[in-house]
Amino acid sequence: MAVGADGSSAGAGEGRTHTAVWRIYPGEVVTTLSELNFDNRFTEQLPGDPVDLNRPRQVHQAAFSRVQPTATTAPRLLAHSPEVLDMLGLDPAVAATDEFLQVFSGNATIDAMDPHAACYGGHQFGNWAGQLGDGRAITLGEIVTGAGERHMLQLKGAGPTPYSRTADGLAVLRSSVREFLCSEAMHHLGVPTTRALSLATTGDQVMRDMFYDGRPGLEPGAVVCRVAPSFIRFGSFELARSRDDLDLLRQLADHTITTHFPELGDPSPEVYTAWFAEVARRTADMIVHWQRVGFVHGVMNTDNMSIHGLTIDYGPYGWLEDYDPGWTPNTTDAQHKRYRHGAQPHIGQWNLTQLANAIYPLVEDVEPLQAALEVYVNRFNDEWGAMMAAKLGIAAPDPERDQPLIGDLLDLLPKTEVDMTLFFRSLADVAVSEGDAEPSDEMLLAPLLGAYYDPILLTGDVRVETLAWLRRYRERIAAESRADADRKAAMDQVNPIYVLRNYLAQLAIDDAEKGDPALVNELLDVLRNPYTEQPGRERFSEKRPDWARTRAGCSMLSCSS
């Protein structure tokens, strides 16, 4: 169905219509999507695909191709984010309108929108892949809110584009639930991320081979509307450079700087370098947060790296259950584990090096780009040390003293199966300042036992090492003379109790596939406050159950969605 300018609906076979657009003044609340202030600078300032043909092909000398979303049969809104509505300046009641459903399921557009799919390339698992592009994502347009914030609205799973290659451009419900929930969960955890406005089913069936075993099956289709300042990636610049299209390369860089980094000044070789340094800094901050909460992206290809330093493209991601820096959630990466949790900092640097190579023709000097790349290394090291000190409740970090303590803990944790989230959360309950008597071994371990998957296995050398580390930890904390309650309050602000555990997401998917979105919405609500204990919701902070160890969707995932 399509929404008419008067709010009426038309059948999908009658074609897509457009609603009128009105401009709003700063500070006003938008009560209909038609009032959004569209400012499509990306498509206005950059060259578009001169060929109006929506079929898979190579697109040259263009940053995007204009394309319309594919209409859906029977869309249904499963969930939306009130926080993103507010960020966009939309009245909460807008989400209940038919206009909202039709637009964000791909059945309608607004006159002021300029739907398009971006053209970019990328390195995938370390190998140059050439042109990739938005194969199943269609950006509806850019808005500027009354607060002056710029946001792109993009539908993921909205149908084929010239970059779909052999795929259909659609998305299934399971991957869409995961993207919707994780986008919002990461935001509330304080991790830089793209956002998700809405999740809708389409009423259509999509064929997928989830396990790549030659046995595809039909699954319910879905569309997520995701939101970001832009969806420009490292690979956007890489593709232009790989084709020696220096005009497009410069246009992309100039647009990026003047639109999203205007504080750096007018584009010039020095400003290009300053911009790259800023991208490096933001990327470092993002990955430090990933490591803090135990998030593993799973597909850190350069086409999945945002120039804003935002987590983007939630594919086969995962959360560390037991602490294992060698774990990757991606079945495609199971053998080499390039994108394992412990390798993410290094991969961030490798990806930035590819971006530096791409923009070199704009700078024509290696040394300033190398110096800017060092910004990543220095920023990551400084912020990682500060982050780990905060997780341990150290108020005044002393790197020389703290690094051995941190390093020994991270070497110790993988020696037995211990839940990362619960271990750090429970560490705040280890008493330090209460009383002068040395606690017994049992008293010292008691607050942490719930974090171990099988406490009985905490024996032998591992038990001895754990106790020795805990006594060193108590000594370090005691040196700061801080009350336990104050330390716990500080630690609880950086160590979440609720994360989007893989099995919880799968349970929500199971229910949603049966037509019940209640768990999706409850998880969305729980994850709004990941650092605060929520009575009655203890089940959302429990360790991974045994049945979830090997079940599809609860451990590793494929890129098929």
pLDDT digits (tens, 9 = 90+) for 52-77: 999 999 999 999 999 999 999 999 99
pLDDT at 8 over 70: no
| Claim to verify: residue 143 and residue 94 sit in the same structural domain | yes
Predicted confidence at residue 436, as pLDDT, reads 62
pLDDT at 6 over 60: no
What is the per-residue pLDDT across 307-318, written as a single tens digit (0 to 9) for each? 999 999 999 999
Question: pLDDT band at residue 21, thresholds of 50, 70 and 90?
Answer: very low
Residues 468 and 472: their CA atoms lie apart, in Å, by 6
pLDDT at 369 over 80: yes
Structure letter (DSSP) for residue 105: T
Predicted confidence at residue 4, as pLDDT, reads 33
Predicted confidence at residue 27, as pLDDT, reads 56
| Claim to verify: residue 126 and residue 266 sit in the same structural domain | no
Predicted confidence at residue 351, as pLDDT, reads 98
| Claim to verify: residue 519 and residue 415 sit in the same structural domain | no
Predicted confidence at residue 10, as pLDDT, reads 34
pLDDT at 197 over 50: yes
Residues 2 and 38: their CA atoms lie apart, in Å, by 20
Structure letter (DSSP) for residue 47: P
Question: pLDDT band at residue 209, thresholds of 50, 70 and 90?
Answer: confident
User: What is the mean predicted confidence (pLDDT) over 73-86?
Assistant: 98
User: What is the mean predicted confidence (pLDDT) over 334-350?
Assistant: 97
What is the per-residue pLDDT across 418-461, written as a single tens digit (0 to 9) for each? 999 999 999 999 999 766 678 999 999 999 999 999 999 999 99
CB proximity list for 150: less than 8 A, separation 6 or greater? 39, 41, 142, 143, 144, 229, 230, 259, 260
- Token pair of 467, please? 């106790």
| Claim to verify: residue 163 and residue 21 sit in the same structural domain | yes
Task: Return the C-alpha torsion angle 314, 316, 322, 324, nearest 10.
Answer: -100
Cα 548 → chain centroid? 23
| Claim to verify: residue 521 and residue 483 sit in the same structural domain | no
Residues 288 and 382: their CA atoms lie apart, in Å, by 10
Helices (H), 446-530: 460-478, 484-491, 502-513, 518-526
pLDDT at 23 over 80: no
| Claim to verify: residue 331 and residue 270 sit in the same structural domain | yes
Tally the domains of the chain: 4
From 49, 114, 303, 313, active-site residue:
303
| Claim to verify: residue 151 and residue 193 sit in the same structural domain | yes
| Claim to verify: residue 386 and residue 405 sit in the same structural domain | no
pLDDT at 5 over 60: no
Residue 524 covered by a domain = yes
Residue 552 covered by a domain = no
Which range among 181-190, 194-203, 204-213, 534-543 shows the weakest confidence by mean pLDDT? Answer: 204-213
Residue 560 covered by a domain = no
Q: Exposed, middle or buried: residue 235 (CB in 10 Å: 0-12, 13-18, 19+)?
A: buried
Which range among 209-223, 267-281, 379-393, 446-460 shows the weakest confidence by mean pLDDT? Answer: 209-223
Please report, as a single letter, which amino acid is at residue 134.
D
Please report, as a single letter, which amino acid is at residue 199.
L
Residue 549 covered by a domain = no
| Claim to verify: residue 202 and residue 273 sit in the same structural domain | no
User: What is the mean predicted confidence (pLDDT) over 37-49?
Assistant: 97
Structural domain boundaries enclosing 7: 2-235
CB 120 within 8 Å of CB 303: yes
Residue with tokens 């705040």: 428
Residue 63 covered by a domain = yes
pLDDT at 479 over 70: yes
Which residue, of 491, 513, 533, is where some domain finishes?
491
27 torsion bin: left (phi>0), alpha (psi -120 to 50), beta (else): left
Residue percentage of the chain with pLDDT more than 90: 89
Which residue, of 209, 235, 261, is where some domain finishes?
235
| Claim to verify: residue 266 and residue 370 sit in the same structural domain | yes
User: What is the mean predicted confidence (pLDDT) over 254-278?
Assistant: 98
Predicted confidence at residue 480, as pLDDT, reads 95
Residues 464 and 474: their CA atoms lie apart, in Å, by 16
How far apart, in Å, do the first and last CA atoms of the chain sit?
Answer: 25
For 115-216, list the strands marked E by DSSP.
116-118, 121-124, 127-131, 137-144, 150-156, 195-208
Residue 240 covered by a domain = no
Residue 520 covered by a domain = yes
- N residues, the chain: 561
User: What is the mean predicted confidence (pLDDT) over 540-553?
Assistant: 92
| Claim to verify: residue 314 and residue 441 sit in the same structural domain | no
Question: pLDDT band at residue 3, thresholds of 50, 70 and 90?
Answer: very low
pTM as predicted: 0.94
Question: pLDDT band at residue 177, thresholds of 50, 70 and 90?
Answer: very high
pLDDT at 474 over 50: yes
Residues 494 and 391: their CA atoms lie apart, in Å, by 6
- DSSP bridge pairs for 158: 170
Residues 69 and 157: their CA atoms lie apart, in Å, by 9
Assess whether 436 carries a catalytic annotation.
Answer: no
Residues 57 and 100: their CA atoms lie apart, in Å, by 32
Q: Which one has a higher pLDDT value, 4 or 405? A: 405
| Claim to verify: residue 229 and residue 128 sit in the same structural domain | yes
CB 447 within 8 Å of CB 430: yes
pLDDT at 29 over 90: no
Residue 454 covered by a domain = yes
User: What is the mean predicted confidence (pLDDT) over 102-121?
Assistant: 98
pLDDT at 558 over 50: yes
